[in-house]
Amino acid sequence: MIRNILNLNVTESNINECGRFDELKNSVDKTKAKSYFEKVEKTVISPFKVNMKTDGLLRRFVVKGFEVKAT
């Protein structure tokens, strides 16, 4: 799924055409994402914030590539 999006060379303005970005976000294992962000930030993160952080990280990765840093 991510490879297909990356091959399309999407931009911020067309990232979710046909719901492709939403589909990608929905495929994320929320438990693993929560564990990842808590390990990186060394704090407990609410499920809501996990979703926000997942969206931001994926969005930056798809648009900018490997220059992504977790925030």
Give per-residue pLDDT as tens, 2-47.
Answer: 889 988 989 999 999 999 999 999 999 999 999 999 999 999 999 9
Residue type, position 19, single letter:
G
Position 16 scores a pLDDT of 94
Half-sphere exposure of 53 toward its Cβ, with a 13 Å CA cutoff? 19
**What secondary structure letter does DSSP report for 23?**
H
Q: Which residue has the higher pLDDT, 70 or 42?
A: 42
The maximal CA–CA distance of the chain, rounded, in angstroms, is 36
Reply yes or no on whether the pLDDT at 67 is more than 90.
Answer: no
Reply yes or no on whether the pLDDT at 69 is more than 70.
Answer: no
Asked if residues 33 and 56 have their Cβ atoms less than 8 Å apart, the reply is: no
What are the sequence ranges of the domains in the chain?
A: 2-64
